[in-house]
Structure 1
Amino acid sequence: MTQSIEYGNLMHKAMRGLIREVLADVADHGLPGLHHFFVTFDTTHPEVDIADWLRDRYPDEMTVVMQHRFDDLEVTEDGFAVTLSFGDSPERLSIPFTSIRTFVDPSVEFGLRFETQDGDDEEEAALTAVEDPVEDAPEEDEAEHKDAEIVSLDSFRK
């Protein structure tokens, strides 16, 4: 028996499950309405599979937008793969859920941020609501999106 309940681990598992469920639904039925996602992930994660030129351009983290131009979204228990267009060049990306740093749907003011603290492994990291979901978006998309206000998880606690 463990000495304490590992709430951080449980919360991370639940939030990754939420992302998995949302992406699986999108893979099956497409994006409903105005929904779209900004997904920021750690490009140094050993299981991230992206083209070498993308890794060179984004050596630490990368934010991708899943909105109008994405294909072949596949969701597994451990992550997702998607083909995105960079200019007119399609690239396949494979992103494990454990590499995700932020997941934002600004159309409904929803966002998650996974933060690690020095000395902690990722599974012990804190989870916080995203304060400014458009902050990490690619510059060319900033004019198309309005800033979203994310509701803090604390507002639901009694």
Structure 2
Amino acid sequence: MARSIDYGTLMHRAMRGLIQTVLSDVAQHGLPGAHHFFITFDTTHPGVEIADWLRDRYPTEMTVVLQHWFENLEVEEDLFRVTLNFGNQPEPMVIPFDAVRTFVDPSVEFGLRFESQSDDEEEDEEDEIEVEIEDSEPRRDAEVVSLDKFRKQ
């Protein structure tokens, strides 16, 4: 059987590594400027630790915001820990990077979305990743290039 490169898994690892790097920097230096994060995660994922009342309120998915009030942000290889404020009630939580479904920094219009394939589709299909990056430069019309230009004569 021929060996192949698993680009889907490699891309997931790289994008989750990006989130890990960003959160590690914030844990050490705080949030720079107007940066803040909306992080949506699967509350049913193994390793997620949240208060029972939060799990009851968000049985499948939850979005948290790291902006004005958060503390004890600790980043490990596979997860991060943070304490967030819910109605003046501090709640510690543990979120594995594999549980993250979206990571958005609206201050710079950057976002990642990890979409899982449904269980009834083929097992070999990998999760899809959508990356959204908005530059401050004006958009230009796309240029169509013929592949014939690159073929050997």
> When the two structures are superposed, what TM-score results if normalisation uses the length of structure 2?
0.82
The yes-or-no answer on 1:48 pairing with 2:48 is yes
Bigger helix share: 1
Aligned residues with identical type, % of pairs: 67
3-state SS, counterpart of residue 65 of structure 2: strand
Change (3 A) 1:97 1:2: farther
Question: Which amino acid in 2 is paired with 1:33?
Answer: G
Task: Give the corresponding residue for 1:103.
Answer: 103
3-state SS, counterpart of residue 124 of structure 1: coil
Using the TM superposition, give the Cα deviation of residue 79 of structure 1 relative to its aligned residue in structure 2, in angstroms. 0.8
1:52-101 residue CA offsets vs partner (Å, 9 max, x unmatched): 00000000000000000000000000010000000010000100000000
The yes-or-no answer on 1:9 pairing with 2:28 is no
1:93-127 residue CA offsets vs partner (Å, 9 max, x unmatched): 10000000000000000000000111366x92010
Question: Which amino acid in 1 is paired with 2:74?
Answer: E
Structure 2's unaligned 5+ residue stretches are 135-141, 146-153
Question: Which amino acid in 1 is paired with 2:80?
Answer: F
Q: Counterparts of 1:113 and 1:19 in 2: how far apart (Å)?
A: 12
The yes-or-no answer on 1:127 pairing with 2:118 is no
Task: Give the corresponding residue for 1:136.
Answer: none
Question: Which amino acid in 2 is paired with 1:26?
Answer: V
Q: Counterparts of 1:71 and 1:125 in 2: how far apart (Å)?
A: 31
Question: Which amino acid in 1 is paired with 2:129?
Answer: L
3-state SS, counterpart of residue 108 of structure 1: coil
| Higher Cα radius of gyration | 2
Question: Which amino acid in 2 is paired with 1:115?
Answer: E
Give the aligned length: 135
Question: Which amino acid in 1 is paired with 2:35?
Answer: H
1:15-71 residue CA offsets vs partner (Å, 9 max, x unmatched): 010000000000000000000000000000011000000000000000000000000
- Coordinate RMSD, CA, aligned: 2.3
Question: Which amino acid in 2 is paired with 1:127?
Answer: I
Change (3 A) 1:6 1:81: same
Change (3 A) 1:88 1:18: same
Question: Which amino acid in 2 is paired with 1:62?
Answer: M
Structure 1's unaligned 5+ residue stretches are 131-149
Task: Give the corresponding residue for 1:82.
Answer: 82
